[in-house]
């Protein structure tokens, strides 16, 4: 400090100051770790050991100081560094550079000692006991990048090429042009470079190769062992270097004078959980893995006991193994233990492992505090889902009282109620949490089957997912891959395993309709004309089935009129397609096709009555004016609502047949698929038009389950795109369609710049009837009753840079932040706990009046929450439509939005509040949007003033409703179809 009079000094305490330090008596400013903007500060201390944690905090603290205090230049120095003279070389080089680094070594060498060049390469080229930064764009960019990397990867893991914060900095000279490598030997002298530098004591001053010593890094030195230069090296012996001994003695004496012996005994706040259980590397590894995979877990600091239970409860989502995650992590951190107990990765009951754990608790990293009979039971117990299922089938009274639990949604719900009302009291092993887990697992039936039908590769790997072998193989695959499958849990897989076995006949019929692989095997879509092929294919899979069984299903249960069978067979037969029999669809072309099939002898097996009905249908056939609307109807997203919107628009003039594209992101729990078509719905092959509401990047997946080659009429894709140009990667996504529709002229311009098919604007519409019944009650969402509420709703899976939620917080703080009775409601759909940018956003908003609603609500629930708002705001950079803005206006809520992209086609300055912008180009790629993407930067000053205006002089709700109804009714939307 004496070397830099006038400079400010900060110490970041990676601990808790529990009365051991009086900041008022110190010459430095004390910052606690939780003050510097860490993501999830309640969890961050428990995701690293003490070495890793101290280094992980570094970029967050540096950025905090630069942004909060506005320093022009800043240096970080490790606590084991002593400064001997002003760091002029650092300050001077920061005039023209943004970053100053010091290398571990400047010259090659090889003497067989430690550390070697290999050791330096493994730990990092530059020593991060020091870094100098100049405030500016480059420094903040570096610190943002570094912070993101250290969020989960500030570990000592040499095999993965990681060494705390340090190894990452090898990339900095390549990433940042204005990086200066300070080679002055007087800076950062330490055990790793003493072989190339000579330190001497001359006239009472320390010199290094003729330069005044700037700072010495005493890494690995302990004054209680004064003859040992560093515990990290074996190259140098202090006995051989008198001048070096002098400087070490000086440093050591200062440490001892500063009460090193006493302070070393001060407790480390994060050594133990609040319940006394010691924090170990296996524990921190588990926390990081949960954050990486967005897995919710109890707070280590606020729910320590529940957190320990979580560590000891088997969960394949974390490490992909059906054992307690703590044990999985222990085996990864201790290869010797994994080698000694090879079955421990898969066998929860491994007796040899448990014997070792119980008798070698010190070796197992103080496992005693975590280990208890209750937690051992958690670690070794069978799946709660399997236990409940076994209980149901073992109780004849239950089966009689609540039959068909796994085939009927109503019965399933009754059984879930019984578990809570009676099961908990009847069975000691069943808790309320267990009963709730079973109820939540029921969504697994739909999710697992939706995953299967959305992935042709799974259909190819498990083509008969309705036979015992196929079911077992698919379930095993799900379990072994659950760690990498988003939104599917072990419990849900366990439920699916039971459900699919009891409904295998329905699943088989669904596969005939929806499985791309099975369609190929049977020669197309199922029809009475390929009944033989269906029968033979199923027999090769081991099913005892006759052609009559197949025909009975196709003619009685399948609910497909005879004409559809004819069309299905036509599109499955290349010979017929080449003859172009159905160039037009009318009685004549159908009769011609009938005659060809009759000559082929395909009617011989068919019931005469059914054949007569086909003839009659051909004679009386009238063109089918219906429309197939295909889309993600189950999705609580913009594309999900787009499918409903297109359906509503087409219902103005047409009968609409809906087909739901399978989606894993759903909590759909209905299981009573009494008809095979109830899985996802059924389209009509004879429909005049088929509209597939799936974006350009999803059309391959959509076409796999709804192949447009099998439908007769016009094929239309309905796409949305948010930026000014659809990326060229999807230039050929239009090949399945005759034309593409989109929601706005803005989108139309973006899409037609890339594809060759015609593009038409058909705006999305709103179902205004559903808004009439919406009445939000603030208390139901724990919202303040009398406050002024501003809201923004966004999906966490969307690209943050485009959605721009930070700008909403900034505008709110500037416009209404000084008003105690104003709150910003941030509604987050599809919450992904642990996502870095999201956790940083929450930490950024911690001192603001922000209320977070972090859950996926039903459609009705979402609108009820929205109706609680006084103002809605969206400061997006670009939007493909702007659904939430339209919905807010439909509720009569004054709405503020960026004056750019699709939303401007249904918003104006008279009925809404449009925010001024500047156009910018993205500095890098964000998600699907390439570097250089042109979009808007909404101006915070403008947004803040609009917030004040919306609060003080809001537009009348009735005027907003009337305006948006005129713009976005289904009647208006249909006028665009010509």
- Band (177; pLDDT cuts 50, 70, 90): very high
Place of tokens 């990864």: 332
Residue 971, CA distances (Å) to 227, 508, 652, 720, 851 in order: 89, 41, 7, 21, 38
Sign of the Cα torsion 780, 794, 147, 936 reads negative
Q: What is the CA radius of gyration of the chain?
A: 34
pLDDT at 364 over 50: no
Residue 960, CA distances (Å) to 744, 766, 864, 868, 888 in order: 20, 14, 18, 16, 9
pLDDT at 951 over 80: yes
- Band (368; pLDDT cuts 50, 70, 90): low
Instruction: Give pLDDT tens digits for 815-874.
Output: 999 898 999 999 998 778 889 999 999 999 999 999 999 988 889 999 999 999 999 999
Cα 238 to chain centroid distance, Å, stands at: 53
Nearest-angstrom CA–CA distance, 977 and 975: 5
Nearest-angstrom CA–CA distance, 115 and 118: 8
Q: Which two tokens stand for residue 225?
A: 């062992």
Contact 607, 595 (CB under 8 A): no
> Poorest-confidence range of 156-170, 673-687, 917-931?
673-687
What 3-state class would DSSP assign to 928? coil
> Poorest-confidence range of 25-34, 86-95, 127-136?
25-34
Instruction: Give pLDDT tens digits for 664-703.
Output: 777 666 666 555 456 788 889 999 999 999 999 999 999 9
Q: Are strands 788-795 and 871-874 parallel, antiparallel or unpaired?
A: parallel
| Length of the chain counted residue by residue | 978
pLDDT at 253 over 60: yes
pLDDT, average across residues 487-513: 92
pLDDT, average across residues 501-511: 92
pLDDT at 481 over 50: yes
Instruction: Give pLDDT tens digits for 586-629.
Output: 999 999 999 998 888 888 888 899 999 999 999 999 999 999 99
Mean pLDDT of the chain: 93
Contact 631, 693 (CB under 8 A): yes
pLDDT at 966 over 80: yes
pLDDT, average across residues 424-442: 93
- Band (383; pLDDT cuts 50, 70, 90): confident
- Band (346; pLDDT cuts 50, 70, 90): confident
Reference 39, options 149, 176, 200, 120; nearest CA is 149
Q: What are phi and psi of 928, to 5 degrees?
A: -80, 0
Nearest-angstrom CA–CA distance, 627 and 571: 19
- Band (943; pLDDT cuts 50, 70, 90): very high
DSSP 8-class letter at 922: -
State the Cα torsion 205-211-215-216 to the nearest 10°. -80
Reference 438, options 374, 509, 504, 390; nearest CA is 390
pLDDT, average across residues 739-746: 98
């Amino acid at each position: 400090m004496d070397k830099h009079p006038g400079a400010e000094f900060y110490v970041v305490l990676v601990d808790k100051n529990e009365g051991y330090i009086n900041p008022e008596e110190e010459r430095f400013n004390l910052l606690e770790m939780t003050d510097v903007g860490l993501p999830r500060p309640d969890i961050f201390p428990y995701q690293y050991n003490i070495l890793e944690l101290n280094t992980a905090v570094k970029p967050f603290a540096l950025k905090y100081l630069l942004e909060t205090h506005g320093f022009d230049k800043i240096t970080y120095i490790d606590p084991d560094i002593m400064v001997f003279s002003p760091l002029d070389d650092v300050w001077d080089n920061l005039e023209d550079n943004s970053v100053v680094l010091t290398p571990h070594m400047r010259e090659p060498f090889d003497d067989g000692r430690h550390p070697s060049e290999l050791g330096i390469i493994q730990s990092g080229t530059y020593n991060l006991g020091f870094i100098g930064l100049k405030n500016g764009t480059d420094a903040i960019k570096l610190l943002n990048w570094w912070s993101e990397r250290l969020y989960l990867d500030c570990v000592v893991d040499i095999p993965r090429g990681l060494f705390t914060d340090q190894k990452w900095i090898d990339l900095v000279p390549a990433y940042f042009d204005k990086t200066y490598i300070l080679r002055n030997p007087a800076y950062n002298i330490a055990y790793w470079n003493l072989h190339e530098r000579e330190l001497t004591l001359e006239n009472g001053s320390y010199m290094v190769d003729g330069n005044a010593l700037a700072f010495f890094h005493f890494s690995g030195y302990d004054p209680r062992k004064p003859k040992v230069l560093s515990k990290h090296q074996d190259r140098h012996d202090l006995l051989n270097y008198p001048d070096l001994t002098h400087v070490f003695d000086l440093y050591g004496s200062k440490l001892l004078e500063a009460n090193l012996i006493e302070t070393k005994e001060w407790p480390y706040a994060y050594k133990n959980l609040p319940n006394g259980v010691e924090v170990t590397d296996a524990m921190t590894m588990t926390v990081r893995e949960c954050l990486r995979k967005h897995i919710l877990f109890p707070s280590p600091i606020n729910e320590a006991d529940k957190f320990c239970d979580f560590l000891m409860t088997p969960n394949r989502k974390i490490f992909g193994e059906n054992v307690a995650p703590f044990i999985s992590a222990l085996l990864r951190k201790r290869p010797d233990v994994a080698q000694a107990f090879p079955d421990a990765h898969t066998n929860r009951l491994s007796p040899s492992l448990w014997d070792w754990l119980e008798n070698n608790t010190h070796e197992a990293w103080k496992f005693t505090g975590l280990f208890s009979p209750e937690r051992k039971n958690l670690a070794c117990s069978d799946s709660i889902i399997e236990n409940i299922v076994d209980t149901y089938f073992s109780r004849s009274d239950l089966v009689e009282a609540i039959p068909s639990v796994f085939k009927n949604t109503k019965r399933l719900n009754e059984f879930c109620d019984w578990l809570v009302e009676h099961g908990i009291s009847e069975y000691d092993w069943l808790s309320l949490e267990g009963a709730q887990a079973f109820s939540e697992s029921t969504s697994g039936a739909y999710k697992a089957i939706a995953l299967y039908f959305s992935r042709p590769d799974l259909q190819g790997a498990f083509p008969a997912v309705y036979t015992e072998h196929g079911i077992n193989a698919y379930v095993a695959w799900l379990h072994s891959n659950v760690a990498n499958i988003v939104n599917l849990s072990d419990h849900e897989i366990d439920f699916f395993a039971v459900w699919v076995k009891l409904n295998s006949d329905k699943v088989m019929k669904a596969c005939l309709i929806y499985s791309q692989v099975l369609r190929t095997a049977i020669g197309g879509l199922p029809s009475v004309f390929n009944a033989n092929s269906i029968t033979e294919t199923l027999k090769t899979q081991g099913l005892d089935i006759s052609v009559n069984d197949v025909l009975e299903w196709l003619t009685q249960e399948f609910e497909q009129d005879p004409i559809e069978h004819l069309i299905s067979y036509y599109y499955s037969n290349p010979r017929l397609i080449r003859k172009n029999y159905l160039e037009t669809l009318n009685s004549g072309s159908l009769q011609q096709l009938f005659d060809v099939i009759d000559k082929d002898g395909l009617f011989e097996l068919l019931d005469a009555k059914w054949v007569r009905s086909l003839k009659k249908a051909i004679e009386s056939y009238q063109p089918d004016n219906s429309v197939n609307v295909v889309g993600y109807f189950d999705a609580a997203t913009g594309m999900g609502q787009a499918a409903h919107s297109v359906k509503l628009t087409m219902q103005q003039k047409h009968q609409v047949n809906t087909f739901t594209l399978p989606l894993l992101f759903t909590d759909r729990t209905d299981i009573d698929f009494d008809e095979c078509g109830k899985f996802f719905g059924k389209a009509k092959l004879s429909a005049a038009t088929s509209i597939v509401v799936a974006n350009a990047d999803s059309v391959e997946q959509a076409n796999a389950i709804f192949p447009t080659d099998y439908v007769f009429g016009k094929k239309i894709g309905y796409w949305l795109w948010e930026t000014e140009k659809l990326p060229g990667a999807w230039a050929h996504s239009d090949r399945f369609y005759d034309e593409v529709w989109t929601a706005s002229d803005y989108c139309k311009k973006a899409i037609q710049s890339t594809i060759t098919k015609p593009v038409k604007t058909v705006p999305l519409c709103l179902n205004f009837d559903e808004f009439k019944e919406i009445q939000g009650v603030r208390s139901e969402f724990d919202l303040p009753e009398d406050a002024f509420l501003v809201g923004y709703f966004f999906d966490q899976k969307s690209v943050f840079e485009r959605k721009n939620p930070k700008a909403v917080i900034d505008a709110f703080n500037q416009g209404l932040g000084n008003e105690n009775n104003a709150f910003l409601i941030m509604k987050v759909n599809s919450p992904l706990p642990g996502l870095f940018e999201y956790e940083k956003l929450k930490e950024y908003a911690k001192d603001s009046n922000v209320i977070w609603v972090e859950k996926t609500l039903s459609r009705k629930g979402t609108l009820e929450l929205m109706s609680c708002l006084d103002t809605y705001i969206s400061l997006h950079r670009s939007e493909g439509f702007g659904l939430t803005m339209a919905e807010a206006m439909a509720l009569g809520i004054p709405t503020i939005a960026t004056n750019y992209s699709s939303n401007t086609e249904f918003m104006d300055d008279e009925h809404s509040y449009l925010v001024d912008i500047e156009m910018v180009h993205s500095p890098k790629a964000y998600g699907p949007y390439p570097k250089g993407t042109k979009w808007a930067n909404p101006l915070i000053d403008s947004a803040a003033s609009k917030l004040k205006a919306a609060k003080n002089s809001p537009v009348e709700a009735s005027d907003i409703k009337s305006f948006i109804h005129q713009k976005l009714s289904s009647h208006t939307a249909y006028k665009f179809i010509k």
